Structure 1
Amino acid sequence: MSLTLRPDVSAVPTDDGMVLLDERTGRYFQLNGTGAAIAQELLDGTGPEETAIRVAKRYSVESDRVAADINALMRALREAGLAAL
């Protein structure tokens, strides 16, 4: 499962991460560098498992830890109403 943002959510990369704008509410959400890397992989259509492997390799961390972070990020984006279900 990849990540799809709602049509009224804009994602903009920044120098240190990514900002998501919910155009319905005007609220901004900021992702740090790692969160942005995860989100971009998922938005590009990469599945969670492959994303965990790629991000773990890039940041020299355990893929199990990245997998947990991916699940938490996807859950948070859904709960905030930013991700399409």
Structure 2
Amino acid sequence: MALRFGADVSTAATDYGTVLLDQRTGQYWELNPTATLVIETLMAGGDEEAATTALMREYDVPQSQARNDVNTLVQDLRASGLAT
């Protein structure tokens, strides 16, 4: 499923990944390069399986670890209200 950030969430690329700002609360989230790859894949219309494949290809991690990382990130972003 594609990922979308809420209208009150700003993103900025950094040398170390991506920073998210929740303008409703003023809270910042810093995403490492691995998480950045996941959100870029999902925001481009890819599903969680595509994000898992991207992690496996880029970082040479086992499928189970990549899938778990993708699922955890997506759940955290949705639970925080940053993403739908």
Q: Is the shorter-chain TM-score for this pair beyond 0.5, marking a shared fold?
A: yes
Alignment partner, residue 45 of structure 1: 45
> Over residues 23-68 of structure 1, what are the superposed CA-to-partner deviations in whole Å (9 max), with x where a residue is unaligned?
1111100111111111111111111101111221111111221111
Alignment partner, residue 61 of structure 1: 61
State the superposition RMSD in angstroms. 0.9
TM-score by length of 1: 0.92
Aligned positions, number: 84
> Is 1:8 aligned to residue 8 of structure 2?
yes
CA distance in 2: counterparts of 1:63 and 1:54, whole angstroms? 10
* Identity in percent: 38
Gaps of 5+ in 2: none
Secondary structure at 1:12 match in 2: strand
Gaps of 5+ in 1: none
Runs of 4+ in 1 over 4 A off after TM superposition: none
Quick check: 2:18–2:32 contact (8 Å CA) kept in 1? yes
